[in-house]
Structure 1
Amino acid sequence: MIIFSIVFFKTVSVLLSVVIGFLAGKYSNVEKDSISSLLFYFISPIVFFTIPASTTLTLSALSVTVVTFVIATLLSLFSYYFFGKFWQDHTRNIIALSAGTANGGYFMLPIAAALFDDYTLSIYMMAVIGINIYECSVGFYICMRSLTNTTDSILKVIKLPILNAFFLGCLFSFCGFTLPDFLDDFIYNMKGSFSILGMVMVGLALSSLQKFEVDIKFTLATFAAKFLFYPLGVGLFIMFDHFVTKWYNNDYYNALKLLSTAPLAANTIVIANLQKFYPEKVAATVFLSLLFVVIYMPTMVSIFLSDLN
């Protein structure tokens, strides 16, 4: 019950940033594009450079990034072909993107920090990086492939700032460099800004909608991909590792389990707007997923996560 309460109230507090963003978008002249550019080109790359750069990278830690990337990619491809039976337009692309993504950074970082010690939190963040690499590469490509040829799609992926920042951070760590101590406060503030502004962007996106359009069929399909297929995929991997490969311990399992409960990624709204993939119903579905996890996440964490401090 204590764990349920911690996660529940943390979830509610994170959602307050969405409310602030919505009110700011409705009643104040806030420039959404400026905040989006600030996040995309500056804050996100800084955060995802400092995560590997601040850690002594090991094969074990890096392998979690690979694991989450592979799981997300497989779930996305499965959803693309499975839901292709029901949709032949761009809908299948956005569902496939959503199936592999998770709001593991903006929404989940404060919750993970409340539940985990520093060691498990670092594992969790490396897992999040795998999801972000998927989103910036395979996920983005799945959306772009319906509009551009393969070469153009791959070039767009290669140029993404967050992807380049992560690889530079890995190179920085492997070369044996360390970030100076005087940057600790700056890094901490960047992570806080990353979470708050990311959720404010969700509110701003919702405030700009001309109508709140809920497509029941689309919402159910997206929820099935995110809240059913995703936990099942992670659960199958954990069972396989526990009984067969035995690569990881309970700290890794808890990090993966928490990530599997995350709501739909906020960036899905941005991509839907950019590509004109039914932005109203995508934004509505993302918002509904945020409301859904208020109960879903505390329940799942209370049942399935173990040995939490």
Structure 2
Amino acid sequence: MSYADLYQPLWMLLAFVALGWLCARRLALDPRPIATLLVYVIAPLTFFRALVLGDPGADDLLLSAALFLLSSAIALLVARLARPFFAAEESALLAFSSGTGNTGYFGLPIAMVLLPPEGVTQYLFCLLGINLFEFTVGFYLSARGRFSVRHSLSRIARLPLIYAFLAALLVSRIDVPLPGALLDGLDYFKYCYTVLGMMIIGMTLGRVTLREFDTRFIAACVTLRYIVWPLLSVAAVALLQASVGIDATLATALLLLGVVPMASNVVVVAMELNIRPEKGAIAVLLTTLAAPLLIPPYLGALLVLVGLE
């Protein structure tokens, strides 16, 4: 692993955050329509194309299912533990953030630097499981911080990522050839996905004041993201090495999932549901700012722990 190669995409992603902040401050842009665009258009089309081209097999779908179940279990546990200590909306936001990380907007460019093509494909299916959590269980937990059970479920039913996932599986199973021009057109959405996903952090921060700074909430987010998740990723890799055996590429992909910063979708979903997006944005920013300093040595240390470096 070349740390010099790794730092370049890390700083580039932070530059997108700074650009979003500048746009919010100087152009008075409202990030809410962009959050809606990400949730309802850009993310579903990005993952539909990735899934169709990935031609998922049983092993790939098993990775997605495993990460979905792990993320859901963590979020449900945190939701229960956080309830006595935080207000309903903050507890819901913390539960959502605990089950995910910035594996897409932030982690995918890094995976493309660190991993060979087959490793990037494996990473994508892990990422898909986490994204399915975000827009099903995670979205439900977030919505329950403000809405009734019925309303929360109705919000989930309107999320197109679920239908994009099912449509991609159907296309792959019945082997429907998609026009090359269509796939080429959908390719542009992956760039929007990363750029807008990072810029929306900066846009939200452009509207934040110091009153939204909550030390307890930020401490809980940082602990979950940079202590709990790395430990879980190391434990998962060690368990798989001792049981079924996994190659170094998949192990690196799993460890990378554990060291990325907080998910930008914490801000996106909080904005879509109007549940304290400013607090989420501050926590996301702090973990993102720390990422260029933490990820290279942190990931290197985890690789040593599992015997891969």
Identity of aligned residues (%): 26
Q: CA deviation at 1:160?
A: 0.5
Aligned to 1:54, the other structure's residue is in SS state helix
CA distance in 2, matches of 1:113, 1:194: 15
Q: CA deviation at 1:29?
A: 4.3
Q: What are the Cα deviations for residues 67-98 of structure 1, in whole angstroms up to 9, with x where unaligned?
A: 11111111112222233343353322211111
Q: Partner residue of 1:43?
A: 42
Q: Partner residue of 2:153?
A: 154
Q: Partner residue of 1:57?
A: 56
Q: 1:96 and 2:95 equivalent?
A: yes
Question: Which ranges of structure 2 fall in alignment gaps of 5 or more residues?
Answer: none
Q: 1:191 and 2:183 equivalent?
A: no
Of residues 260, 283, 286, the one that matches 2:284 is 286
Question: Using a 3 Å threshold, how does the CA distance of structure 1 residues 36 and 148 change in structure 2: closer, same or farther?
Answer: closer
Q: Normalised by the size of structure 1, how large is the TM-score?
A: 0.91
Question: Using a 3 Å threshold, how does the CA distance of structure 1 residues 18 and 181 change in structure 2: closer, same or farther?
Answer: same
Q: Partner residue of 2:172?
A: 173
Report matched runs for 1:18-167 at 5 Å. 18-87=17-86, 89-167=88-166
What root-mean-square deviation, in Å, do the aligned CA atoms of Structure 1 and Structure 2 show? 2.2
CA distance in 2, matches of 1:212, 1:284: 11
Q: CA deviation at 1:224?
A: 0.9
CA distance in 2, matches of 1:221, 1:74: 17
CA distance in 2, matches of 1:275, 1:64: 29
Q: CA deviation at 1:172?
A: 0.9
Q: CA deviation at 1:173?
A: 0.8
Q: CA deviation at 1:149?
A: 2.9
Question: Which ranges of structure 1 fall in alignment gaps of 5 or more residues?
Answer: none
CA distance in 2, matches of 1:55, 1:233: 27
Q: What are the Cα deviations for residues 8-52 of structure 1, in whole angstroms up to 9, with x where unaligned?
A: 221011111111111111111434333333322222111011111
Q: Partner residue of 2:302?
A: 304
Aligned length: 306
Question: Using a 3 Å threshold, how does the CA distance of structure 1 residues 231 and 18 change in structure 2: closer, same or farther?
Answer: same
Report matched runs for 1:175-254 at 5 Å. 175-183=174-182, 185-211=184-210, 213-244=212-243, 246=244, 248-254=246-252
Q: Partner residue of 2:258?
A: 260
Counterpart of 1:206, as a letter, is: L
Q: Normalised by the size of structure 2, how large is the TM-score?
A: 0.91
Question: Runs of 4 or more off by more than 6 Å in structure 1?
Answer: none
Aligned to 1:101, the other structure's residue is in SS state coil
Counterpart of 1:72, as a letter, is: S
Question: Using a 3 Å threshold, how does the CA distance of structure 1 residues 88 and 31 change in structure 2: closer, same or farther?
Answer: closer
8 Å contact kept, 1:53–1:179: no
Q: CA deviation at 1:273?
A: 3.4
CA distance in 1, matches of 2:177, 2:299: 34
Q: CA deviation at 1:174?
A: 1.2
Q: CA deviation at 1:6?
A: 2.0
Q: What are the Cα deviations for residues 248-277 of structure 1, in whole angstroms up to 9, with x where unaligned?
A: 432222111111111111121233334443
Question: Using a 3 Å threshold, how does the CA distance of structure 1 residues 277 and 193 change in structure 2: closer, same or farther?
Answer: closer
Question: Using a 3 Å threshold, how does the CA distance of structure 1 residues 277 and 263 change in structure 2: closer, same or farther?
Answer: same
Q: Which moved more, 1:144-153 or 1:6-15?
A: 144-153
CA distance in 2, matches of 1:250, 1:258: 12
Question: Using a 3 Å threshold, how does the CA distance of structure 1 residues 36 and 109 change in structure 2: closer, same or farther?
Answer: same
